[in-house]
């Protein structure tokens, strides 16, 4: 029991913090109340994705088409593609850049369509939103999985026009864009520094996914 006058302010601050915590926690269940515009954007995108994945009426192709639209809607694919090619972006010809951009999207769609096809009732909860860089935000979410541990995912978003675009996804401290960048660099190095070598490997991977 601390009741001295000197501690009053501290206690009030403590109560205010507890109250705020309570509000935040209740926000977890009543959803977007605690989230800012970027958090709402992520939440909406997540729910759309869940609708697509949970829709049993869609066949494989339709699902992939819808996922592709969501990816293009939600992600700054051009900026991400350019980032993942890193310093090789400048050494690539405009044709190679365009081809890379196309293959990159194909690979992302293929990868995530496969990943998300194992959808088993996961839900997404926005837990935090903080400023990131000059204009961006980083939105923290919990992916709650039935009977498996919760995964923490952070979405780095930037304002584009009226809305937002995702520029990176960070899962438990691991950045997808950075991982992709170092992998592409390794492939190019192994292929004697030629961007064309990476494009070959990417084409092969995309084609492997298309095979029946």
Partner 1 sequence: MLLAGCASPPDPKDEAAVQSYREANDPLEPINRYFFEVNRFLDIVALRPAAEFYRELVPAPVRSGARNVVRNLGEPLTAINSFLQGDHARAGDDLARFAINSTLGIGGIMDVAADPKFLGVERKDEDFGQTLGVYKIDEGLYLMLPILGPRPPRDLIGFAVDSFIEPVQYAFPNELRTGFGLSRAAVSGIDLRERNIETLDDIERNALDFYATIRSLYRQRRNAEIANGKVSPSLLAPEIRSGATASAVTAGLQDDLRLEKASAPRR
Calpha distance 97→198 (Å, rounded) = 12
Which residue from 171, 134, 133, 179 is spatially nearest to 155, judged by alpha carbons? 171
Q: How far is the CB of 5 from partner 1 (least distance, A)?
A: 28
The site map against partner 1 for 107-146 (x = CB under 8 A) is: x--xx--xx--x-----------x-xx--x-x--------
Site size toward partner 1, by CB under 8 A: 64
Q: Does 44 bind partner 1 (CB under 8 A)?
A: no
Q: Does 91 bind partner 1 (CB under 8 A)?
A: yes
Q: How far is the CB of 67 from partner 1 (least distance, A)?
A: 12
DSSP state of 75: B
Q: Does 25 bind partner 1 (CB under 8 A)?
A: no
Q: Outline where the chain has alpha helix (H).
A: 5-29, 37-54, 60-74, 77-85, 88-91, 94-116, 176-190, 195-210
- Give me Rg for the CA atoms of the chain: 21
Bridge partners of 132, per DSSP, are: 136
Q: Does 78 bind partner 1 (CB under 8 A)?
A: yes
- Secondary structure of residue 191 in the 3-state scheme: coil
Calpha distance 158→167 (Å, rounded) = 7
Q: Does 84 bind partner 1 (CB under 8 A)?
A: yes
Residue with smaller CB distance to partner 1, 7 or 91? 91
Stretch that binds partner 1, among 3-11, 16-24, 33-41, 66-74 (CB under 8 A): 66-74
- Secondary structure of residue 36 in the 3-state scheme: coil
Q: Does 63 bind partner 1 (CB under 8 A)?
A: no
Q: Does 5 bind partner 1 (CB under 8 A)?
A: no
**Quick one: tokens of 123?**
């839900």
Calpha distance 191→93 (Å, rounded) = 17
Which residue from 111, 162, 179, 167 is spatially nearest to 139, judged by alpha carbons? 167
Q: How far is the CB of 121 from partner 1 (least distance, A)?
A: 16
The footprint of partner 1 (CB under 8 A) covers 61, 65, 68-69, 72-73, 76-80, 82-84, 86-88, 90-91, 101, 105, 107, 110-111, 114-115, 118, 130, 132-133, 136, 138, 154, 156, 158, 160-161, 165, 167-168, 170, 172-175, 177-179, 182-193, 198, 201-202, 205
């Amino acid at each position: 029991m601390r009741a001295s006058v000197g501690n009053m302010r501290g206690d009030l601050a403590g109560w205010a913090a507890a109250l705020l915590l309570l509000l935040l926690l209740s926000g977890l269940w009543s959803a977007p109340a605690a989230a800012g515009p970027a958090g709402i954007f992520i939440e909406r995108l997540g729910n759309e994705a869940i609708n697509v994945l949970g829709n049993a009426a869609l066949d494989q192709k339709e699902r992939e088409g819808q996922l592709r639209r969501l990816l293009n809607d939600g992600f700054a694919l051009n900026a991400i593609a350019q980032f993942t090619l890193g310093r090789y972006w400048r050494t690539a010809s405009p044709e190679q850049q365009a081809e890379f951009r196309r293959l990159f999207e194909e690979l992302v769609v293929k990868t995530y369509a496969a990943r998300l096809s194992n959808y088993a009732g996961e839900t997404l909860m926005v837990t935090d939103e903080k400023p990131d860089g000059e204009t961006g935000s980083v939105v923290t979410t919990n992916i709650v999985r039935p009977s498996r541990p919760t995964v923490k995912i952070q979405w780095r978003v930037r304002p584009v026009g009226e809305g937002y675009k995702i520029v990176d996804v960070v899962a438990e401290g691991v950045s997808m864009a950075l991982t992709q960048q170092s992998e592409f660099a390794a492939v190019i190095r192994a292929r004697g520094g030629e961007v064309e070598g990476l494009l070959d490997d990417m084409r092969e991977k995309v084609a492997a996914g298309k095979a029946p």
